[in-house]
Amino acid sequence: MKILINSEAAAWYKQELNLKTGDFVRFYVRYGGCSTVQSGFSLGISNDEPVDIGAKTTEDGVTFYIEEKDLWYFDDHDLIIEYHAKYDEPVLDYKKA
């Protein structure tokens, strides 16, 4: 699986989470919420240091990643993160790999 993030979304995370070059953003599975790939689960975010990276990408000096133990959630989908000006926030989407 791949993580694809556009530069505007990366900049939004960098500003909102007060990130600097070399920092990390982790997408992790949490119980509850809704998703188009796993019913009853959703994604959370944190700026934890990686333990066992399963997928990652780096944009504007920040590494966005998913731990190996959370890859099941994506069910062979790529994670696509784009910034939408209308909502003034990133929007997550999933595309079959």
pLDDT tens-place string over residues 48-86? 899 999 999 999 999 999 999 999 999 999 999 999 999
First to last CA, the chain: 7
Considering the entire predicted model, what is its pTM? 0.91
User: How many domains does the structure of the chain reveal?
Assistant: 1
Residue 40 pLDDT: 75
The domain that holds 36 is classified in CATH as 2.60.300.12
Q: How far apart are CA 78 and CA 71, in angstroms?
A: 10
Average pLDDT, rounded, for the chain = 93
Q: Which domain holds residue 69?
A: 3-96
Q: What DSSP designation does 2 have?
A: -
Tell me what pLDDT residue 39 has.
Answer: 74
